[in-house]
Structure 1
Amino acid sequence: MRRILIVGAGQSGLQLALGLQAQGYEVTLMSNRTADEIRSGRVMSTQCMFHTALQHERDLGLNFWESQAPRIEGVGVSVAAPDATRAIDWVGKLKGYAQSVDQRVKMAGWMETFAQRGGQLVIHGAAVSDLDFFARTYDLVLVSAGKGELVSMFGRDASRSPYTEPQRALAVSYVHGLGPRPEHPEFDAVRCNLVPGVGELFVMPTLTTSGRADILFWEGVPGGPLDVFNGVTDPAEHLSLTLELMEKFLPWEYARATKVELTDGGGTLAGRYAPTVRNPIGRLPGGGLVLGVADVVVANDPITGQGSNSASKCAASYLSSIVEHGEKEFDEAWMRSAFDRYWDTAQHVTKWTNAMLGVPPEHVLNLIGAAGQLQPAADRFANGFDDPADFENFFYEPEKTAAYLAEVAGAQAQAQTQTQTQA
């Protein structure tokens, strides 16, 4: 039986551990916290998982909370005008619903499941020296812990990392008591609110430790008016700042947030990091090799909501690569090929995310504006969150954008003519 060590118990590490366990591998999982410590700790992310990533969980029978979590049926975009009215406002419908489960709920539950199924769970904050020892006793060591000393083993890939500094200051609040968006009270959607030159507010329904909740997530341009959360340690002050900024820049979202309260004392999070792609293979002092997983090697800004989706897709890709490799050695060539297979998907996420962090060019503004009148364009943009590769077909190049909008407008005009003729 092949022995595999996974360091890090997040979305990718746990999904991969449980997937390998189901395939008969002897898996050891290292976490720096117990399930109870995770469940009672601070929120870790703003996860919203779309159809493809959710299907990976379903395929492994890990969709434990699917019946409880809100079904997110759309992605909406609003753009604030200088007078704080809405210059643009629309919602695209998803082909398959998305869901968000607080990682405190999911990771704790998955960790307990892994142990119940006979997996070896080690509660220990691993250092490079630990991996140097373990690499001699396991067939494969995977590093899925995206922070701390271990990440330093994976060098930055400058050719795939255009930014050297954080591009947004991040501030998250989990709340109860948020009202529905009056434009579509009959269904849930992720709402992306863009304040040009200032930043973005994302609002998404989630399932947390205390049931249904909503996430208020500011992404502020560093040094701008939203960059005020650094050093704020009091959760109540954090929420108060969040709401003040909503009232100033996005009054339509503030209007449904006047009665919100934090879900719990750990329901806030703030920070920032530079989007970075790293070399996937880490070299240990003793000569051993380890393979980086998910955001250890491809860390994108959360502006496009791809973190947990990418983690799920990476785990699924690596699982296939490991199983297909059979009894052969997990050498450097295999590690490189496993990452390259994942990068075929991840490259589209990185390209789109980095594009959204910059000032949008005129043709992208035209696309976002036109989606308010052309529902197929709004729907396609929304479904790009599930399949970012599709943006290659209509988003990046002005000519492709113009051709696509002309095609959709023509089809809509033709449909209207046919309707009028039949009437």
Structure 2
Amino acid sequence: MDGTSTSLPASQGCSYPSANPWVSNGILPAKGILMSGIGIVGAGISGLTLALRLQQLGVDVTLYSEKDAGSMRSGRLPNTVARMGHTQARERELGSVHYRDPGCLMAAAKLSIKGDPPLEFTGRVTEPFHAVDFRLLLPAYLDDFAGRGGKVVVGAESPDAAQVDRWSRGHELMVVAAGRRSVAELFPRDAARSPYDRPQRVLTAGLYHGLEMGPLFSYNISPGCGEIFRMPMMSRHGVVSSVLVEAIPGGPLEPISRAPAAEVGDVLAGLLAEHAPRLAERMDAAEFGLLGPEDLLQGAVTPVVREPVAELPSGRIALAVGDAWVTNDPLTGQGANLGSACAWIAADAIAAGGPYDAAFGRAAAARMWEAAAPVTDWTNAFLRPPAEHVMTLLGVAAGRQDVADLVLSLFSDPAYGWAVVSSPDEVARIVDDKG
């Protein structure tokens, strides 16, 4: 697609004529589950994945969302996300598959570390990464949930802890997947699992025309300055280029985070020439620019792990999932993928039945942490200068396709990714393996 306005299909998933499609299709609730229902706060990927999975398992769910589907579609760019193979597999199992345009499916990625000469290689994966503007994807999931008989309550503003407590009186369990006020009030920072108390990068994400590279992910590192990522993304205007600048605070990439939307394109063009020359080579200077002021996101993220369980005045508990529990810097593209994985784990725990007390919450959180711990460690490692053995691995990848492919595959398997980057011995094994 060329970036012009395009009519996009809302879904390539299944249609369900019944108000309770899972029962009509023979998928019954787990034996013994009789509940007044689960309340889920937040309609991001974690909350929606959890809602859809519980609905599939026959569990009564009410989803509390700040916005309806129409408001989601018309809002500002919320992020730039690549969903990995395991996440896409869960979506297929849910029957919620959307926007599978070949132009936004990335089977290859090029890594370039600035230097003289630069260190560069291209890796390939079996299951392509998939990038869709969440202003399209999340409303499609919300429509799936509601269309299958799910209950959605739309509120005008972010709920606080008192509102979550009031909602809890009608449910056996509250799960909080998003919400600025409720998250801060209910789930304090877990200092033992949160090594940073401030942002390690300043972020600028945007959608651009005039930077055509096809279905290729581009990962550019400017040592001591930060990172610049480009990927093709399905948007409201067809497939366009999303660019994320991760600036080390105080460094030469940071000023773009303060640039007004009308100037961001020009500022980014200058930064690409200096810090990501491979991207600059593919830029059409006459056409390059931000799609529009709503297609820009500027800010910063403090990596944090919060306490996962809150006991409410109602006597119920609230369980945190997704960004409400673990917020990682988007440097390794793991946020949405981890949120989806933990939502799936939480759904299985909930569907197994209660009582949904503090012991249940701690047990569910422990299972989720088995998935989240290596992802968090892996991402935090990327926020620091790479260790010598990691640079050795990247150097070998520049000359061996099998190692280049393995390095790229680590982003789809961050548990093994952490096992590699944390272990000189594992890197030595990979480097010495000629098979």
Could you state the TM-score of these two structures normalised by the residue count of structure 1? Answer: 0.90
Question: 2:176·2:319 contact (CA, 8 Å) conserved in 1?
Answer: yes
* Structure 2 Cα separation of the partners of residues 392 and 302 of structure 1: 16
Structure 1, residues 38-95: CA drift from partner, whole Å, max 9, x if none?
11111111110110111011110111222466211022210001xxx65111111102
Match 1:312 to one of 340, 358, 363:
340
Deviation at 1:320, TM superposition (A): 1.4
Match 1:113 to one of 95, 119, 144:
144
Deviation at 1:159, TM superposition (A): 1.4
* 1:301 aligned onto 2:329: yes
* 1:236 aligned onto 2:265: no
- How many residues are matched? 397
Residue identity matched to 1:119:
G
* 1:138 aligned onto 2:177: no
Residue identity matched to 2:405:
D
Aligned to 2:189: 156
* 1:19 aligned onto 2:53: yes
Residue identity matched to 1:228:
P
Match 1:384 to one of 410, 415, 422:
410
Structure 1, residues 359-380: CA drift from partner, whole Å, max 9, x if none?
1111111111110001111111
Match 1:289 to one of 317, 328, 336:
317
Question: 1:145·1:151 contact (CA, 8 Å) conserved in 2?
Answer: no
User: Aligned with 2:89: secondary structure?
Assistant: helix
Question: 1:102·1:208 contact (CA, 8 Å) conserved in 2?
Answer: yes
Deviation at 1:407, TM superposition (A): 1.7
Match 1:339 to one of 360, 365, 385:
365
* 1:88 aligned onto 2:119: yes
Question: 2:202·2:254 contact (CA, 8 Å) conserved in 1?
Answer: yes
Aligned to 1:256: 282
* Structure 1 Cα separation of the partners of residues 349 and 103 of structure 2: 31
* Structure 1 Cα separation of the partners of residues 167 and 180 of structure 2: 20
* Structure 2 Cα separation of the partners of residues 319 and 308 of structure 1: 16
Aligned to 1:204: 231
* Structure 1 Cα separation of the partners of residues 98 and 317 of structure 2: 34
Aligned to 2:306: 278
Question: 2:203·2:257 contact (CA, 8 Å) conserved in 1?
Answer: no
CA shift in 2, pair 1:137/1:86, >3 Å: farther
* Structure 1 Cα separation of the partners of residues 324 and 79 of structure 2: 15
Aligned to 2:130: 99
Aligned to 2:30: none
Where do 1:186-205 residues align within 5 Å? 188-205=215-232
* Structure 2 Cα separation of the partners of residues 365 and 349 of structure 1: 20
* Structure 1 Cα separation of the partners of residues 122 and 371 of structure 2: 26
* Structure 1 Cα separation of the partners of residues 89 and 166 of structure 2: 36
Residue identity matched to 2:92:
R
Deviation at 1:37, TM superposition (A): 1.3
CA RMSD across the alignment: 1.7
Question: 2:174·2:316 contact (CA, 8 Å) conserved in 1?
Answer: no
Deviation at 1:262, TM superposition (A): 2.6
Segment drifting more, 362-371 vs 278-287:
278-287
Match 1:220 to one of 239, 247, 258:
247
* Structure 2 Cα separation of the partners of residues 34 and 333 of structure 1: 34
CA shift in 2, pair 1:141/1:119, >3 Å: same
* Structure 1 Cα separation of the partners of residues 306 and 99 of structure 2: 33
Deviation at 1:127, TM superposition (A): 1.7
* Structure 2 Cα separation of the partners of residues 287 and 69 of structure 1: 50
Structure 1: tracts of 5 or more residues without a match = 412-423
Residue identity matched to 2:96:
L
Aligned to 2:202: 169
Question: 2:329·2:379 contact (CA, 8 Å) conserved in 1?
Answer: yes
Residue identity matched to 1:353:
T
% of aligned pairs identical? 35
User: Aligned with 1:47: secondary structure?
Assistant: coil
Aligned to 2:27: none
User: Aligned with 2:293: secondary structure?
Assistant: coil
Aligned to 1:419: none
Segment drifting more, 47-56 vs 253-262:
253-262
User: Aligned with 1:394: secondary structure?
Assistant: helix
Deviation at 1:191, TM superposition (A): 1.2
Structure 2: tracts of 5 or more residues without a match = 1-33
Where do 1:64-83 residues align within 5 Å? 64-67=98-101, 70-81=104-115
Question: 1:193·1:201 contact (CA, 8 Å) conserved in 2?
Answer: yes
CA shift in 2, pair 1:179/1:279, >3 Å: same
Residue identity matched to 2:360:
W
Question: 2:161·2:185 contact (CA, 8 Å) conserved in 1?
Answer: no
* 1:48 aligned onto 2:82: yes
Aligned to 1:416: none
User: Aligned with 2:231: secondary structure?
Assistant: strand
User: Aligned with 2:254: secondary structure?
Assistant: coil
* Structure 2 Cα separation of the partners of residues 96 and 17 of structure 1: 25
Structure 1, residues 148-206: CA drift from partner, whole Å, max 9, x if none?
343331111111111111000000111223222xxxx6xx2211100000000011111
* Structure 1 Cα separation of the partners of residues 146 and 195 of structure 2: 40
Residue identity matched to 1:165:
R
Deviation at 1:314, TM superposition (A): 1.2
* Structure 2 Cα separation of the partners of residues 175 and 86 of structure 1: 28
